[in-house]
Amino acid sequence: MSVPFELPADDHDISPGTGYTRAHWEAVADGLLTAAWRWATPGSALLHLPGRPSRSGVRSDGLEGYARTFLAAAFRVAGAGGDDPGHLLERYADGLAAGTRTPGRDDTESWPLILDFDVQGQPMVESASVALGLRLTAPWLWDRLGTEVQDRAEEWLRGALRHTPAPNNWYLFPYTVAGFLESAGRGDAETAAARERALDLLESWYRGDGWYADGDGRAFDHYNGWALHLYPVLDAHLADDADALAHHGGRLRAHLDGFSLMFGADGAPLHHGRSLTYRFAASAAVSLGAVTGHTPLTPGASRRIASGSLRHFLDRGALTSDGLLSLGWYGPHEASLQEYSGPASPYWASKAFVALLAPAGHALWTDTEEPAPVEEADRVLSLPGPGLLLQATRADGTVRLHNHGSDHVRPHEGESAADDDPHYGRLAYSTRTGPTAPANVADNHLSVEAAGRPSVRRRVHPLGAGHGDGWGWAASWHRPVFVAGPPMVPGLTVESVTVVHGGLELRVHRVVGAPPGSRVTLTGWATGPEEPVVSALHGLYGWDDPVPEAVPAPQGTAWTSWARVPRLTGGCGGTTVHLALACLTAGPDAPSLERAVTDVRVDDGTVEVTWAEDGSRTRVAFGPVEVCHTRP
């Protein structure tokens, strides 16, 4: 699809993969900002973009429009050394003055006050973008403001330091506000406390492999890159703090070693976790690594990922006809959204423009594009810290994430089927498919049916992960939570192991403590007629029929307006084991799963399969879970 503003001609000499250069990034930033500013209030304090309001209300949404576009403008101008051809900073300066004149008042321009996250919290999120924008553009905006406006802006921003954030990445918002105030010579004990508090929490959330939990639970998703790494690394970079940059930058480097594999050859990031309408913000960590030098990637590979992600969405209709980012994935897509999503929410995509902090002569822009990790070779990578397993196939450029560690249940919360979240609860996600909507059959899901009531997977307990040459595994257990009647059956648990071998997935499940007469179902990948993607599923043991039925998902996914899901069914009661092969491939044909395994043995809690391709054997034992893979 065409982009509704002019872009430079593609340059496939320097960028053989995407055709995009730094000039394309500048043009996209300019186009997005020009389109958004058509919806500004007369005093420039609020940008009221069209669309359904968020739960925070229209005024908060207007502030969101100002703050998130300001972030894109700040990266654009700072990266150009203050050059501001669109006179953007004048508008943001005017808006800052108007918005902070009488904050909290119900008039045309006033910004909402920053209060506790459970009262009126969204302005705290936006305060971080305002503060970061002011810090990046200080010589050309903040330093030219009158003292009265500076004082008013500081007082409004300090609301973020004096109120309670949500118990997750939100603590980095007052951290970022405090960092700006200190850089402007306005630091004190209050700013120091906010920063110390955030860093202490960040340390407690670190789980290894470069991954942070988003709070005290086990939510691992794109917030790692566009929040939990971005704010502290960028803060250290702007402050020229070598010690902090070495610490946080080292973790960013470790994160990118795995995260860089989470982009398909077509530029798509993995469709997993919250706030997916931020789209190409997923590349922010990749570009930040290139800007600061804390990355395992070459500059050419970094640009290939970042530009590939940007172009992926622009080419697939993420922009409306008047140049605005829609609420959704490609076009509008309600199932990708959260209640906090408003018309300006997609503009957290502005974080991707951190790439522009690399000046025109930087290797990020001057080196020739190199292949992204998925384009180099088939690869399997386990991430024991977050409990994830990555599987990438070069032939079709597809990446799959097998989830045995990420959920969205806070430690203090009970497990309720009413809170089932398709973006966390599924067994697998990919760069080619999205989860089905809650009202449809769940894809990539094992459900126990007791007394006719199906279960969902909520809190995920990791049991380990590992990988070798061309294969890998990850395991977890969960308590099935039922959609009606009593929420749980005492003693009922499900242990799940995924073993990947090339492009194939062996899914092994042990159901323990199921009531007599229970049933179990397993589904595969959801695909539809609008993408050349094939989903295959084949039962190996514990199913009524090895051949799955095709179940419709009429609400579709973010990729297709209508989908079908393969499903196996079988009986269970007491302790039973269920094995299946699954596969997702982009292309006209799927491999023959019926012939992919030559031998299957299930004996006393131990499973062993022999792979037809190379004669290797995979052995899975339960209690405790152990996985080994041997070659002939």
Answer yes or no: are the C-beta atoms of 472 and 465 closer than 8 Å.
yes
Taking the model in full, what pTM does it have? Answer: 0.97
- For residue 603, the cross-strand partners are 606
Residue recorded with tokens 């070598």: 242
Span 98-112, pLDDT tens digits: 999 999 999 999 999
Task: Answer whether residue 218 shows pLDDT above 90.
Answer: yes
Answer yes or no: are the C-beta atoms of 193 and 160 closer than 8 Å.
no
Span 222-254, pLDDT tens digits: 999 999 999 999 999 999 999 999 999 999 999
Determine the distance from the C-alpha atom of residue 630 to the mean position of all C-alpha atoms in its chain, rounded to a whole number. 34
3-class SS of residue 598: strand
Annotated domain spans of the chain: 22-375, 377-630
- For residue 626, the cross-strand partners are 621
> What is the spatial distance between Cα 235 and Cα 239, in angstroms, rounded to a whole number?
6
Instruction: Please tell me the predicted confidence (pLDDT) of residue 518.
Output: 97
Span 51-102, pLDDT tens digits: 989 999 999 999 999 999 999 999 999 999 999 999 999 999 999 999 999 9
Any idea which fold 22-375 has?
Answer: Glycosyltransferase (1.50.10)
- For residue 533, the cross-strand partners are 586
Instruction: Please tell me the predicted confidence (pLDDT) of residue 151.
Output: 98
Common-topology check for domains 22-375 and 377-630 = no
Instruction: Please tell me the predicted confidence (pLDDT) of residue 603.
Output: 92
Answer yes or no: are the C-beta atoms of 114 and 154 closer than 8 Å.
no
> In this structure, what token pair is assigned to residue 268?
């798509």
Any idea which fold 377-630 has?
Answer: Beta-galactosidase; Chain A, domain 5 (2.70.98)
Task: Answer whether residue 196 shows pLDDT above 80.
Answer: yes
> What is the spatial distance between Cα 204 and Cα 253, in angstroms, rounded to a whole number?
19
Task: Answer whether residue 404 shows pLDDT above 80.
Answer: yes
Confidence of residue 1 (pLDDT cuts 50, 70, 90): low
Instruction: Please tell me the predicted confidence (pLDDT) of residue 430.
Output: 98
Span 351-402, pLDDT tens digits: 999 999 999 999 999 999 999 999 999 999 999 999 999 999 999 999 999 9
Residue type, 487: P
Instruction: Please tell me the predicted confidence (pLDDT) of residue 2.
Output: 79
Instruction: Please tell me the predicted confidence (pLDDT) of residue 423.
Output: 96
Residue recorded with tokens 């850089």: 183
SS3 content of the chain, % helix, strand, coil (to 5): 35, 25, 40
